[in-house]
Copies of this chain bind each other. A is one copy, B any other.
Amino acid sequence: MATRQDIDIEISEVGPRDGLQSISPIMSTEDKKRWISALAAAGLPEIEVGSFVPAKVLPQLADTAEIVAHARTIPGLQVAVLVPNLRGAQAAVAAGAHKITIPLSVSETHSLKNVRRTHAQMLDEVRAIAELIADQPADQRPVFEGGLSTAFGCTLEGKVPASKVIEMAEALIKAGCSEVGLSDTTGFGTPTQVKQLTQGIWDAVGREALNGVHLHNTRGQGLANVMAALEMGLTTIDASMAGIGGCPFAPGASGNIITEDLVFLLEGMGLKTGVNFESLLAARQILRESLPESVELYGFTPDAGLPKGFEMATSQS
């Protein structure tokens, strides 16, 4: 496995969380472990392995504590989880997650509808989680990210002003997040927005507080938006194996950026991802075997194969 210093762009694989929560079949705990191990073995440096939400809300992710425990045994892997509130963060800290993300909808209408909370209430949760983390021994404190959901627009409110996104980024950092992430929850995002929001947040809270984007492919713009992120100098890109999850709108449309196609894009630009492509396809095979055939897997590069004569930037030995 590549060490992290050999990696130019970190792909954060969100399939086990964002993907599995979006489909109704429940993957068995053993299959999840096998899949996550295969993803890590392919060289992916960070995996969002689950979400600490009540099992009655997302039964697909009810085994997140056990999955985190397994993932922590994989050397070098950054184990990330999502939490909706303090209670989830307590479970995440107890399980030993390396990174905890709490999503906050920049559109307050969306926040109220989705988690029945105002921005003020969400920021109270963030402060409580920050205190919880500060109480941990210094060498065991997870990274604490505030995810700026609906940052590119909202299906309810429509346009979300950049000034509001920047304001919430500042509020999250002030409330105790160590970093923020830009999230195109609705697939509204354009390359121009990626650039403007990144610059705006950097200007407000500092460059080190925003490294990554979570982009959707709802309108086919996923990799074009990645190009804008790369041009800015962002270094972490979320993606999902086979494009599962995210916000698919129609049959045939992947919601998330497809990990396999993103790897080809980055490696084709000479940017090391640390990924071994053959091992990535082996992980895809495990995913295929672990889900019913009715769950569609996306991805152009797996079907077409890498171009004849193509050389990865990451050493494939």
Q: Which residues of A pack against B, CB within 8 Å?
A: 153-159, 186-188, 190-193, 217-221, 223-224, 226-228, 231, 249-250, 252-253, 258, 261, 264-265, 268-270, 298-301, 303-304, 307-310
Check if A269 sits within 8 Å of B191, measured CB to CB: yes
Closest chain B residue, CB of each to CB of A303? B250
Partner pick for A217 among B158, B300, B310, CB 8 A cutoff: B300
Check if A303 sits within 8 Å of B253, measured CB to CB: yes
Check if B268 sits within 8 Å of A304, measured CB to CB: no
* A192-B269, A261-B219, A265-B221 given; A304·B158 CB < 8 A: no
Give Cα distance in the complex from A153 to B307, angstroms: 8
Give Cα distance in the complex from A262 to B152, angstroms: 18
Check if B308 sits within 8 Å of A158, measured CB to CB: yes
* A219-B261, A220-B299, A252-B298 given; A192·B304 CB < 8 A: no
Check if A221 sits within 8 Å of B223, measured CB to CB: yes
Check if B252 sits within 8 Å of A190, measured CB to CB: no
Besides A155-B308, A190-B269, A231-B231, 12 other A-B contacts (C-beta < 8 A): A153-B308, A154-B308, A157-B309, A188-B310, A190-B265, A190-B268, A193-B268, A218-B300, A219-B264, A220-B258, A220-B300, A224-B265
Check if B309 sits within 8 Å of A159, measured CB to CB: yes
* Shortest distance from the beta carbon of A297 to any chain B beta carbon, whole Å: 10
Q: Which residues of B contact A186 (CB under 8 A)?
A: 307
Q: Which residues of B contact A192 (CB under 8 A)?
A: 268-270
Give Cα distance in the complex from A248 to B60, angstroms: 34
Give Cα distance in the complex from A153 to B268, angstroms: 13
Q: Which residues of B contact A154 (CB under 8 A)?
A: 308
Give Cα distance in the complex from A107 to B217, angstroms: 34
16 A-B pairs in the complex with CB atoms less than 8 angstroms apart? A153-B308, A153-B310, A157-B309, A188-B307, A188-B308, A190-B265, A190-B268, A191-B269, A219-B300, A220-B261, A221-B300, A224-B227, A249-B304, A250-B300, A253-B303, A253-B304
